[in-house]
Amino acid sequence: MARKKVIVIIKSNPFSWKAFEALRQAVGLSMEHNLTVVFVKEGVYTLTDWKPQMIGIEPIDKSIEALGMMDADIVVEEEAVRERGIKLKDWSVPIHIKPKDEICETVKDAEVVLTW
């Protein structure tokens, strides 16, 4: 199978199963495709230093680290972070903060877009 440019957009808040499952899917996709994971809207909370295990949700740290090892691009929407006044957690892999316009161009160039 040919490698495709795949984008996984996480726009849902992390306080349910969606962000965890989206990242699990993203790790699998990163093994065979050129992957970018984009956090927008409420999804930006996923990259903060919150404690998911306190509400019975698995931490996402291993998924983020795996994406970094697989050379996936991890992008967060600058405007969403600023509007919510949040601080991102210090991750061991690069997290790229980009403006919405730049993210739109990346999405436009993708061959496959999955939204959570």
CA 76 to chain centre: 7
Which band of pLDDT confidence, cut at 50, 70 and 90, is reported for residue 90?
very high
CB 66 within 8 A of CB 31: no
Question: What is the pTM assigned to this prediction?
Answer: 0.94
Dihedral pair phi/psi, residue 112, rounded to 5°: -135, 135
Cα–Cα distance between 59 and 46 in angstroms, integer? 10
pLDDT at 1 over 80: no
Q: For the chain, which domains are there?
A: 5-115 (3.40.1260.10)
Residues forming a β-bridge with 74:
37
The mean per-residue pLDDT over the stretch 6-10 comes to: 98
Residue-wise pLDDT for 30-85, tens only, equals 999 999 999 999 999 999 998 888 888 888 999 999 999 999 999 999 999 999 99
CB 7 within 8 A of CB 107: yes
pLDDT of residue 75: 98
